[in-house]
Structure 1
Amino acid sequence: MRRPFRAALAGIVATLVLFGAADLIARAFGPQSAPLLALGQTIIPLTPTEIVKPVIDLFGTNDKLFLILTTGFAALVLGGLIGWLASHRPRLATVLLFAAGLAPILAILIRPESSVLDIIPTLIGLVLGMAVFRVLISSATSRTVTGTTPAAARKFPAAARPPRSSTPGPSPSDTTETPTAEPSRRRFFAITGIIGAAGAAAVAAGQTVASLTLDAGAAVAKLVLPTPAKKAPPIPAAAHPDIEGLAPFLTDPKDFYRIDTALAPPVIDPQEWSLRIHGLVESEVTLTMDDLLDLPLDEHHITLTCVSNPVGGELVGNATWLGYPVRELLRQAQPHKDADMVLSHSIDGFSASTPIEALTDDRDSLLAVGMNGSPLPPAHGFPARLVVPGLYGFVSATKWVTELEVTRFDEKTAYWTDRGWDARAPILVASRVEVPKPLAKVPAGDVAVAGTAWAQQSGIKRVDVKLDDGEWTSAELGDEVNIDTWRQWKTGFSDVDAGLHTVTVRAIDQDGNVQTPERRKSIPNSATGHHHIQFSVE
């Protein structure tokens, strides 16, 4: 059992060297050349919805880290199995390891943002990994042979040995064990430990970790946004109730939720970016970044939310967006009268199906380049993305957008609609409690309660709150900025007794739609139900 175990360890260490060296060298090329990212990105569209949804529910915005860790773990397991095979079939194992090393190369080549040069880091990693594998397998599968040799045989050559006598043979003290010169078990584990640690350190310092923890794209700092031709109105102080613990009215980009299919934000040079509008149109339109920045840009406060947001969840944010009205771009392209959908494409292969009326009516749908007064962060779509009020992001908020394909719902489908989500996905009226925090401990007496509600394209008319099983009472609303931003609210309850209590909230929009208490999952179009939290009074 010793040789198979050592051989398996050799396969694991060789895999670490392959990915570690490639990932470290990929720092000089960009995320598109990192093998772990490429493999993970290839796995995403192949993963069934039955797996994707529970992972998102469980890990939230850490789902990408989970995928990378799972991909890396699977690669190490495969390397270990190939190493184990090498203890019996070394040639076959070598061929299999080489073939496995080609998988990330193919994954890189099929990415639309990659070039042939991007496979160089993985090729180098594969060569190093194969070399380490052969050396370690040779050491792992060799045997330490021992035997007994008479002392006289060690002292004299065979021709000079004295003739045999009838005297008794050599005593045990006259014989010794002569191990072969093969590396010892201790030396093998020392070598594999050092090489494995170096491989792991290379992964930790490589492109994958850098891409998952840092914003990519130095070009962001070079992009200078023009002054808006139409500036968003100032946000009144009364829009944000002065309650400690209430979310800011505008969400900082670093705190803004991120849900997309890209493991790492694509690195896109704005000077090389373009948007193509095609399909069922009279005239195709191609727009460069210079063209876009020369247009009169509008600025609007708009709330975005994700269809995966659980009741009371944090997958919702409010920002000030700068961009050009999509309806004006489509007007230039002149869509056919029978077109009812625009399929937007991202550089990373994602697509979203947006009802064409949502992009051509009077709502403030934007091809956005700015967020809260600065260029879009890479994680939020740099250099350009779509922002469409009133629709969940999976059918409207395409990041790193490169194409708008005018088409029909009965002819084309999109990434998430192929996986069971609604094709049109209007945002439902929703609300959440933010103060007190769940399971908070507050002093007896008056208890302040506050939160946020949203109902894009309609606006919030009223927010009702109740304590335990009491009656609904209307909360005080902050000033409305516009119908496409969330509206914050506050209220309070007097003389609350000590013990465990529950606060529940519901919202009503301007059209009279009352937030439903019915609980359902997010597929096909958003989770529903009243948000409630428990807190204790001491």
Structure 2
Amino acid sequence: MKAVRTSRRSAPSLRALPMLAGILAAGLVLGVAELVGAFFSTRSAPLIALGSTFIDFTPSWLKDFAIDTFGTNDKLALFVGMAVTIVFLAALLGLVAWRRWVLGVAGVLYMGAVMVAAVVSRAGATVLDAVPSVIGTLAGLAALRWMIQKLRAARPTAAEAADDDGAFSTADNPPERARTGVSRRGFFAAAGVTAVVAAATAAGGAVVSGIRNTVNVTRERLKFPAPASTAMPVPDGVDVDLDGVEPWVTPNKDFYRIDTALQVPTIDVDTWELRIHGMVEEEVRVTFQELLESDLIERHITLTCVSNPVGGDLAGNAKWLGYPIRELLKRARPTAGADMVLSTSTDGFSASTPLPILQDERDAILAVAMNDEPLPLEHGYPVRMVVPGLYGYVSATKWVVDLEVTRFADATAYWTDRGWAEEGPIKTQSRVEVPRAFAKVAPGTVRVGGTAWAQTRGIDRVEVQVDDGPWEEATLAAEYTVDTWRQWTHEVQLEPGSHRIRSRAYDPDGVQTEERADSVPDGASGWHTVQFSAE
């Protein structure tokens, strides 16, 4: 009988199978937790809790890098990074469990404890919210044990492994790996069942959550009363009508979103309530229906994120409907010594706003609608704060449920705890939007344009400089109010070749600063410069 030499190709695949078992077990942990969590509060989702905890402990420089690099896709980048990390750790735990089961169990339980800690540390979470993570961990551990046992049944003995490494075999005496094929098929059957159950539980949890969540349906059916004070008519000429310049009113779908919520909170308007307390003579509680029955006002207001780099797009202009915060503060009657309002979101985010700014005549509101429709879920439905003249990190709390009148000396907020300034007045800015960076335009007369803003102060003038030429005054679009941005255009003469254009804006206090500054701690500054070519 002709002898054949055995192959060694199966050995690496056997070592890879425990890693696959670990990954599938991790998928089951998350799938089961998702399904069980659908019957608990939204705070029980371990993946969201882990991501939120990661954000909370991420240093400011890394958050700034993520926003600068990924923009409004920063959360997607975080989820991708988390997925890669989970797969790596799960594969490692699978390998550890294969080699020494006790250590594998310890590793799985440790990761389960991390999930539980992340869940219960979220704002508003209770011990019961940890139940889905516990059940998911136990299910994953059981599945991992099942798959590892199947693998052990397929593992050859030491003598057989030596034969597999170098012995000859005959057709009447097949190599051991052929005889263990049945056992390996048992592992793949177990792995397949685990994968199917993981996918099914995850999908089931999503379906149950979707059935239970009627918030968006309620939102779409909301009807608002006519405002007691309507917005001024928008005059002709606020839009420069130059292709490439952002529209004067930012559509809701295009409005920038920067917040700390990995999962958009879903709040029932029938149970929403705002509490105003702290250093006040009278605690005030307001329901959503009471808010709608109040004298609402309608205003166009431009918002800007403090993370917006020079020339960035983290700014937007919208028409807001809401109730003046100063009117609620009048009812609460802040006591002497109070100088700050700490606003808190349902997901635990907080912002510290100077009390006098919420009491003056600027239109700081509790907004319920945006561009003639109920607030989008991701922009704070059912109620958010909108305060002209301040960066969002100290004023624009979404999903707001609590206003505590206090003092800067006694309380701090989410971003001020991380090194940002206590007060965040918006800096005067101008950006070049046409041409875009590295664009190619035809030589000759070229129309350029962009947008400038200085909320609560207004834009008086914009100047443009091409290469090292003189500063020339641009043509400003019509001004709506000092609380909204203002567009500008200018015609320049270009010779063929590479060019540089930059802009600067003037408010009533003078020209915006040329000094370059990063967004930390109180907003970026500097003149926006764009490189392009004429050819």
TM-score for both structures, normalised by structure 1: 0.87
Q: CA deviation at 1:444?
A: 2.1
Q: CA deviation at 1:118?
A: 5.1
Task: Tell me which of 49, 54, 68 is aligned to 2:79.
Answer: 68
| Residues 253-264 of structure 1: pairs in structure 2 closer than 5 A | 253-264=252-263
Alignment deviations for residues 81-111 of structure 1 (CA, whole Å, 9 cap, x no partner): 2222212321342243134234334433443
Kindly indicate whether residue 463 of structure 2 is the aligned counterpart of residue 464 of structure 1.
yes
* AA matched with 1:43: F
Q: Is the 8 A contact 1:10 1:140 kept in 2?
A: no
Taking the aligned partners of 2:51 and 2:240, their CA distance within structure 1 comes to 43
Q: CA deviation at 1:207?
A: 4.9
Q: Is the 8 A contact 1:462 1:507 kept in 2?
A: yes
Q: CA deviation at 1:334?
A: 0.7
Gaps in structure 2 of 5+ consecutive residues: 1-10, 161-168
SS at match of 1:144: coil
Q: Judging changes above 3 Å, is the alpha-carbon distance between structure 1 residues 183 and 94 closer, same or farther for their aligned structure 2 residues?
A: farther
Aligned to 1:403: 402
Q: Is the 8 A contact 1:342 1:405 kept in 2?
A: yes
Q: Is the 8 A contact 1:144 1:180 kept in 2?
A: no
Taking the aligned partners of 2:499 and 2:74, their CA distance within structure 1 comes to 33
* AA matched with 2:104: A
SS at match of 2:237: helix
How many residues matched? 511
Taking the aligned partners of 1:205 and 1:61, their CA distance within structure 2 comes to 29
Q: Judging changes above 3 Å, is the alpha-carbon distance between structure 1 residues 172 and 390 closer, same or farther for their aligned structure 2 residues?
A: closer
| Residues 175-324 of structure 1: pairs in structure 2 closer than 5 A | 183-185=182-184, 188=187, 192=191, 195-196=194-195, 199=198, 207=206, 217-324=216-323
Taking the aligned partners of 1:147 and 1:242, their CA distance within structure 2 comes to 82
Q: CA deviation at 1:175?
A: 6.0
Taking the aligned partners of 1:172 and 1:72, their CA distance within structure 2 comes to 46
Gaps in structure 1 of 5+ consecutive residues: 149-170
Q: Judging changes above 3 Å, is the alpha-carbon distance between structure 1 residues 532 and 177 closer, same or farther for their aligned structure 2 residues?
A: closer
Task: Tell me which of 500, 509, 512 is aligned to 1:502.
Answer: 500
Alignment deviations for residues 249-294 of structure 1 (CA, whole Å, 9 cap, x no partner): 1111111111111112101001111111111111111111111111
Alignment deviations for residues 24-49 of structure 1 (CA, whole Å, 9 cap, x no partner): 66567675343211211122212222
Q: Is the 8 A contact 2:215 2:268 kept in 1?
A: no
Task: Tell me which of 518, 527, 530 is aligned to 1:521.
Answer: 518
* AA matched with 1:480: E
Q: CA deviation at 1:8?
A: 2.7
Taking the aligned partners of 1:246 and 1:27, their CA distance within structure 2 comes to 44
Aligned to 1:388: 387
| Residues 5-24 of structure 1: pairs in structure 2 closer than 5 A | 5-23=16-34
* AA matched with 1:422: A
Q: Judging changes above 3 Å, is the alpha-carbon distance between structure 1 residues 265 and 426 closer, same or farther for their aligned structure 2 residues?
A: same
Q: CA deviation at 1:237?
A: 2.1
376-385 or 172-181, larger mean C-alpha shift: 172-181
Alignment deviations for residues 170-221 of structure 1 (CA, whole Å, 9 cap, x no partner): x98876667766745576457647754874787689759x99xx99743312
Alignment deviations for residues 335-375 of structure 1 (CA, whole Å, 9 cap, x no partner): 11211111111111111111111100111100111111111
Taking the aligned partners of 2:85 and 2:387, their CA distance within structure 1 comes to 39
Aligned to 1:415: 414
Taking the aligned partners of 1:172 and 1:450, their CA distance within structure 2 comes to 82
Q: Is the 8 A contact 1:36 1:72 kept in 2?
A: no
Q: Is the 8 A contact 1:464 1:472 kept in 2?
A: yes
Kindly indicate whether residue 352 of structure 2 is the aligned counterpart of residue 360 of structure 1.
no
Aligned to 2:369: 370
SS at match of 2:460: strand
Q: CA deviation at 1:395?
A: 0.4
SS at match of 1:87: helix
Q: Is the 8 A contact 2:282 2:333 kept in 1?
A: yes
SS at match of 1:345: strand
Q: Judging changes above 3 Å, is the alpha-carbon distance between structure 1 residues 339 and 172 closer, same or farther for their aligned structure 2 residues?
A: closer
Taking the aligned partners of 1:145 and 1:89, their CA distance within structure 2 comes to 17
Aligned to 1:51: 62
SS at match of 2:517: coil
Taking the aligned partners of 2:341 and 2:229, their CA distance within structure 1 comes to 26
Aligned to 1:532: 529
Aligned to 1:144: 156
SS at match of 1:502: strand
RMSD in angstroms over aligned alpha carbons? 2.9
Q: CA deviation at 1:69?
A: 2.2
* AA matched with 1:79: A
Q: Judging changes above 3 Å, is the alpha-carbon distance between structure 1 residues 46 and 207 closer, same or farther for their aligned structure 2 residues?
A: farther
Kindly indicate whether residue 96 of structure 2 is the aligned counterpart of residue 85 of structure 1.
yes
Aligned to 1:101: 112
Taking the aligned partners of 1:174 and 1:435, their CA distance within structure 2 comes to 79
Q: Judging changes above 3 Å, is the alpha-carbon distance between structure 1 residues 176 and 363 closer, same or farther for their aligned structure 2 residues?
A: closer
Larger Rg: 1
SS at match of 1:262: coil
Q: Is the 8 A contact 2:517 2:524 kept in 1?
A: yes
501-510 or 11-20, larger mean C-alpha shift: 11-20
| Residues 88-167 of structure 1: pairs in structure 2 closer than 5 A | 88-114=99-125, 121-142=132-153, 143-145=155-157
Q: CA deviation at 1:491?
A: 1.0
* AA matched with 2:53: T
Q: Is the 8 A contact 1:32 1:266 kept in 2?
A: no
Q: CA deviation at 1:236?
A: 1.3
SS at match of 1:425: coil
Task: Give identity over the alignment, percent.
Answer: 49
Aligned to 2:43: 32
* AA matched with 1:59: F
TM-score for both structures, normalised by structure 2: 0.88
Taking the aligned partners of 2:516 and 2:458, their CA distance within structure 1 comes to 23
SS at match of 1:352: strand
Q: CA deviation at 1:327?
A: 0.7
SS at match of 2:99: coil
SS at match of 2:254: coil
Taking the aligned partners of 1:174 and 1:369, their CA distance within structure 2 comes to 80
Q: Judging changes above 3 Å, is the alpha-carbon distance between structure 1 residues 410 and 191 closer, same or farther for their aligned structure 2 residues?
A: same
Q: Is the 8 A contact 2:341 2:352 kept in 1?
A: yes
Q: Is the 8 A contact 1:7 1:141 kept in 2?
A: no
SS at match of 2:253: coil
SS at match of 1:437: coil
Q: CA deviation at 1:535?
A: 2.0
Taking the aligned partners of 1:173 and 1:392, their CA distance within structure 2 comes to 78
Q: CA deviation at 1:5?
A: 3.7
Q: Judging changes above 3 Å, is the alpha-carbon distance between structure 1 residues 176 and 475 closer, same or farther for their aligned structure 2 residues?
A: closer
Aligned to 1:160: none
Q: CA deviation at 1:67?
A: 1.9
Q: Judging changes above 3 Å, is the alpha-carbon distance between structure 1 residues 359 and 144 closer, same or farther for their aligned structure 2 residues?
A: same
Q: CA deviation at 1:51?
A: 2.4
* AA matched with 1:372: N
Q: Judging changes above 3 Å, is the alpha-carbon distance between structure 1 residues 446 and 216 closer, same or farther for their aligned structure 2 residues?
A: farther
